[in-house]
Structure 1
């Protein structure tokens, strides 16, 4: 084709289109390489479009040479711009590397600091989680530490140095514990010596009763000679502790009367001490409920059978125990200990007065009454001086309602028994009870009776109503015994 550009064709170049002029024009224009690249690209596209248009229209080749020259110039410009862009890229990379170096160094420092921070956090957590012994130690307060701690331990402690203060407080605690350890050893040594002393004294005290007993036996003749019966009195007091409450009241009242008014009476307690101690233990076990098993077994034995259930539901009249069955039923069961009262004549001035009568007080357990009788009496029941010592008090009837309910309303004491439950004996023992009939009814009956009968009772009732019961009873017994002796 004629219109095509032959290879190796020399094209005349315009001096203005040289690269130096292009670069000078680019620098003069102040455009960036990227803008020149876009302009060169668009110029090449325009030149190529013109060449194609000339070839289509069939214009002469002289027009193509100028366009080809412009195209080559644009290619040269593209290469120069490309080289400039590459150089600029290298320069930017170098500047970027130079700017990146301090950033990398700072990042490395940041990573080092973060690692160091995590290490410190782990160390702090390990320190906080460390289970030491000192939190469980009760240290003295800081005020007491600064007040009592020695100077070599306290030293100079700054107020803001908590760690140093804690160490010094721990040292002071160790110092105190060492001192307490020394004191503990001293006290242990003293304790051992005191235990040895106590053991020696216990050994001496254990052997002391035998010595006191022998000394007491040796002093009995001296006591009898001087009339100071200390051993006998002490023995009576020990025996009185085992008496039932009513007999204890009788003994204490009579003993107080003797000591306060120098009454010429003597008291003694007779009976089995071993049986009395057994009775006291049985009462204590019954009160504490130890005998509940025996009672439950007794209740199981008393459960009625089904066959006899209908018969047991019938009401049966209560049987009154006869005199023969009273002994078997245990109504006359008495306490093992008894109180003996010796009454002497109070009108004589002899050092050894005449004994008038000896009374024996005993306590019936089931009937809860105190019985009194004359010891070794030879006269019959009809000559008993205690009968009717006070008006209407023969001693043949039970004095209070509870005893009558326990033994039966028609229960009469055996006349042959020397001891009887006189009413004055119950009052002397502290067993007071209500009368069976209201005093108002008795007052109405007394108004309808003869005046002579009331005169007979007046003297006895006036003495009985007084509070000096012991003195009144002793006077009555003495006067009754003297009257009996005068009749002989």
Structure 2
């Protein structure tokens, strides 16, 4: 198709110029193949460069005043380049549309794949949470103490071992062991109920028997009271003996030794004596409880707790100077009374010679002996010097003397005195102040003093032997009979 161009003349008129452009030059025919071979952006850059060169050449013609015929050809070439620019621009737009369409077509499977990926990630997170929950699940199986597998295979019945509960072998074994444990616990529950019922029956039987036994003492009291004349007639003092033995358990050790030795002498040799325990039993029980707490150390702990309290004042420790005489001579609540009878008279009631009272002084750890119901009469002289140089007017051992000093002595105002033979009888043995060997070895001593000391040593020698009880009783009887014969 012929292309019509308009040119501007110098005179201001217009002139039409027809120009035939080959199809190949415009871009027809093989233009697609050439444009496809070369990059559109490079073609556009080349076209732009050719336009700029044509414009530069036209400016140079204008300036140098060259003929206008040269401008026509340059204008035709510049128009051709503009046409090429439009063609290149169109090809770029077409390529852009093609890329957009391909992009839109490619986005569909991409979005589908993205959706599948999102679904897979969601399923993954769900499975991860489930696995974590399964791992953190606390089962009751570890808390159940099951029997070992060896005991299970040995003791479980065949119906439990032969059943199939799961396809997994370890899980199946666990289920079987749990079933076996359940069956055993059911049997134990039945046995527990049976034993509880038996226990209830036995408790009722025991309660009935306790009720019956609780009524026995009240039923035995009339029987005991009725049997007392028979016991007195036959000489059997069973009731008194039991009561006396219960009271003897509360005696301090020295009085208990005296009581046990005198009782053994009476039972073994038929000695004509009688024993009696008098005093306040409740006070003796309280004192025994206090001594037991003191020995075990519980009382010291209580005192320490009281000392730690801010509102409690510590107790004052009493020394020997602050102790008064009444506190020093405080005796144990229980006392042992010895009734001595004449062994040559058949009737005991008419043959009673004397009654001795044994007391234990707690602070001084000594035994005092005196006449029962005595008024400092002549009968008190029976016990004085029962053994040589044993008047009972001074403390028998050095520990008591150091405790009270030399100011306190046993004078005639006190009916009970700490005789040395009473200490030996109670098991309170002590060393003499001067050794007997030292007494015999002194050649410079006076003859009277030497004889006196020898008499003292010889007088205590039978007292330290096993026949001390018999010797004491024999001397008391001899003195009492002599006193009665003189009166």
Q: How does the TM-score come out when normalised to structure 2?
A: 0.72
Q: Which has the higher contact order (CA 8 A, sep 6+)?
A: 1
1:99 is displaced (CA, Å) by: 3.1
Query: Do structure 1's residue 372 and structure 2's residue 369 form an aligned pair?
Result: yes
Contact 1:340 1:361 in 2 (8 A): yes
Aligned to 1:281: 286
1:377 is displaced (CA, Å) by: 8.5
Contact 2:58 2:74 in 1 (8 A): yes
- Distance 1:93-1:24 versus aligned 2 partners, 3 A rule: closer
The CA distance in 1 between the partners of 2:59 and 2:408, in whole Å, is 167
3-state SS, counterpart of residue 273 of structure 2? strand
3-state SS, counterpart of residue 392 of structure 2? coil
The CA distance in 2 between the partners of 1:100 and 1:218, in whole Å, is 124
Query: Do structure 1's residue 394 and structure 2's residue 401 form an aligned pair?
Result: no
Unaligned runs of 5+ in 1: 303-317
3-state SS, counterpart of residue 392 of structure 1? coil
3-state SS, counterpart of residue 276 of structure 2? strand
The CA distance in 1 between the partners of 2:239 and 2:353, in whole Å, is 25
Aligned to 2:5: none
3-state SS, counterpart of residue 139 of structure 1? coil
Once the two structures are superposed, the pairs formed by residues 273-352 of structure 1 within 5 Å of their partners are 275-281=280-286, 284=289, 288=299, 329=326, 335=332, 337-344=334-341
1:47 is displaced (CA, Å) by: 3.0
- Distance 1:122-1:55 versus aligned 2 partners, 3 A rule: same
Aligned to 2:3: none
Query: Do structure 1's residue 422 and structure 2's residue 419 form an aligned pair?
Result: yes
Aligned to 1:381: 378
3-state SS, counterpart of residue 9 of structure 1? strand
Contact 1:239 1:269 in 2 (8 A): no
3-state SS, counterpart of residue 60 of structure 1? coil
- Residues 389-433 of structure 1: per-residue CA shift (max 9 Å, x gap): 211113343433565564853634217x66443210121122334
Unaligned runs of 5+ in 2: 1-7
The CA RMSD measured in Å over matched residues stands at 4.9
- Distance 1:152-1:237 versus aligned 2 partners, 3 A rule: same
Determine which of 3, 17, 31 is the counterpart of 1:23. Answer: 31
1:202 is displaced (CA, Å) by: 1.8
The CA distance in 2 between the partners of 1:183 and 1:7, in whole Å, is 132
1:76 is displaced (CA, Å) by: 3.0
Aligned residues: 455
Aligned to 1:156: 165
The CA distance in 1 between the partners of 2:22 and 2:327, in whole Å, is 167
Worse-superposed segment, 197-206 or 33-42: 33-42
- Residues 195-254 of structure 1: per-residue CA shift (max 9 Å, x gap): 322321221121122233333334445545555433232122122234343322211111
Determine which of 138, 145, 149 is the counterpart of 1:140. Answer: 145
Contact 1:250 1:429 in 2 (8 A): yes
Aligned to 1:36: 43
Contact 2:357 2:371 in 1 (8 A): no
Aligned to 2:80: 73
3-state SS, counterpart of residue 244 of structure 2? helix
The CA distance in 2 between the partners of 1:385 and 1:183, in whole Å, is 77
Aligned to 1:413: 411
The CA distance in 2 between the partners of 1:5 and 1:100, in whole Å, is 59
- Residues 18-42 of structure 1: per-residue CA shift (max 9 Å, x gap): 5436628837x94333333333333
- Distance 1:372-1:31 versus aligned 2 partners, 3 A rule: closer
